Amino acid sequence: MKKRIKLITSVLGLSLLLVACTAAPKTDKMEKGQEKDMMETTEPAMDEKKDDKMMDEAKKEDTMMDAEMTSVFEYTDFDGNIVSSKDFEGKKVYIKYWASWCPICLGGLEDIDKLSMMDNDFVVLTVVTPGYKGEKTATEFKEWYNGLEYKNIKVLFDQDGKVAKELGVKGFPTSAYISSEGALVKVSPGHFDNATITESFTSIK
């Protein structure tokens, strides 16, 4: 009788142990679900990290363009005036796409401000994309930018990223190099110092 009681007790104990072990994964799943919810609430931050990772990977390979590909672009300045590729015929042009929310871009503004003052054999333009990839509206951007101390940077608007899409700009910052013949030579994601940018143009006619 005592042996039978011990046997029943052992079986019950084993059953409880099995129930507890099979219940643990359910708890884990719930916690994972909670983590997912937390990730969803911080999606912008996660997206920025994802963008930074993609940018690092993309930086390893420049997007080289067909030498015969003509770059035709049209932007607007702060006053609503049209600025197009026709204004720079016969000149080499450096275009830097950036965003007001991008820490790397903001860290590079001092460099681009100095580059804009240098006696280069290429024109320096910077472009932001109101209404595209989280950028402020044109009005909001102008109010924000006018509070900064950079006075030499030429900032243009590419509304809704229309030209950016044509150039293949997938993240910020991104540089586009255009020859004096109007050919889009390459599009390079990531930040580059002034020496690197200047060196790149030595091989571009």
- pLDDT, tens digit, for every residue of 30-69? 333 323 222 222 233 434 444 454 445 444 444 444 444 5
pLDDT higher for 67 or 153? 153
pLDDT in tens, 99-119: 999 999 999 999 999 999 999
* pLDDT > 50? residue 13: no
d(CA 172, CA 16): 56
| DSSP 8-state secondary structure symbol assigned to residue 137 | P
Q: Is 97 exposed, middle or buried (0-12, 13-18, 19+ CB in 10 A)?
A: buried
Confidence of residue 93 (pLDDT cuts 50, 70, 90): very high
- Output the pTM of the full model: 0.68
Can you give the pLDDT at residue 71? 72
Element containing residue 174 per DSSP (H, E): strand 174-178
pLDDT higher for 60 or 130? 130
pLDDT higher for 51 or 137? 137
Q: What is the mean pLDDT of residues 91-100?
A: 97
Q: Which residue stretches of the chain are H helix? A: 2-41, 43-59, 103-107, 109-117, 138-145, 162-167, 194-201
Across the chain, mean pLDDT equals 76
